[in-house]
């Protein structure tokens, strides 16, 4: 079973679905993280280019911990826009990787990049299987799209994945984003749930875990009312 996580910024996948990605990778599934941007706004006292270079390196290190491959789509941080061109770009991404399952942001999220990414992925999902829509790759038909969300949105997960055995891996991957640990903690006035980076992840995971009788879990909603092993 192949998984493709399409996220707005380096560290989004690790924070919100890192345990699930690691769990699938550990059982031998092909897992890829596609980053819409390199997160060049997420830094202090340096240039956007320098921040982007640092964050790409951190993302590659984190993906290696999770057992995932990575690709970058080169959108601008904070400025992902919805357009037919960008939707077709995601169609091609889906067709190139031909995943069974797609993971992305929940539509109702405080960050505009997350909201736009969610819409692009959802709409591209519907177009990716159309045989008369010609792009660089052949049509594909993933089984489902799973959405992860932030506690500050209206996100109410209906699919809970037990990641207790992979919480340590998730934290190790998240901490590869060394530049973001300080950034998110300093930026706590906006992203209040990240006032303590690791403890916030643990608290969220533990709260979700109680719903599934697990120590730690990750939560999703699904586009279609179907379920598969691990994402059920």
- pLDDT tens digits along 70-99: 999 999 888 999 999 999 999 999 999 999
Q: Write down the CATH superfamily of domain 3-222.
A: LmbE-like (3.40.50.10320)
| Residue 163 contacts residue 20 (beta carbons within 8 Å) | yes
List per-block mean pLDDT (blocks of 10 residues) for the chain, which spans 232 residues. 95 95 97 90 74 89 97 92 96 97 94 95 96 91 94 85 96 88 59 63 92 94 76 61
Q: Cα dihedral angle (9, 10, 15, 17), rounded to 10 degrees?
A: 80
Q: pTM of the full predicted structure?
A: 0.91
CA distance readout (Å), 21 to 67, 74, 102 = 8, 22, 11
Structural domain spans, the chain:
3-222
């Amino acid at each position: 079973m192949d998984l493709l996580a399409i996220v707005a910024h380096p560290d989004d996948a690790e924070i919100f679905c890192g345990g699930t990605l690691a769990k699938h990778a550990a059982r031998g599934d092909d897992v890829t993280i596609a980053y819409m941007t390199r997160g060049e706004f997420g830094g202090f006292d340096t240039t956007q280019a320098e921040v982007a270079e640092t964050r790409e390196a951190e993302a590659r290190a984190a993906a290696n911990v999770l057992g995932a491959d990575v690709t970058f789509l080169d959108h601008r941080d904070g400025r992902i826009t919805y357009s037919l061109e960008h939707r077709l770009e995601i169609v091609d991404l889906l067709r190139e990787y031909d995943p069974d399952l797609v993971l992305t942001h929940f539509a109702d999220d405080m960050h505009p990049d997350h909201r736009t990414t969610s819409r692009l992925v959802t709409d591209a999902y519907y177009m990716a299987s159309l045989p008369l829509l010609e792009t660089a790759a052949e049509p594909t038909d993933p089984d489902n799209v799973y959405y992860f969300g932030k506690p500050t949105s209206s996100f109410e997960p209906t699919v809970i994945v037990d990641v207790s055995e992979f919480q340590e891996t998730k934290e190790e991957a998240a901490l590869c984003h060394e530049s973001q640990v300080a950034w998110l903690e300093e930026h706590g006035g906006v992203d209040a749930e990240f006032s303590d980076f690791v403890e916030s992840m643990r608290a969220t995971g533990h709260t979700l875990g109680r719903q599934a009788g697990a120590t730690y879990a990750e939560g999703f909603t699904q586009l279609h009312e179907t379920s598969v092993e691990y994402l059920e």
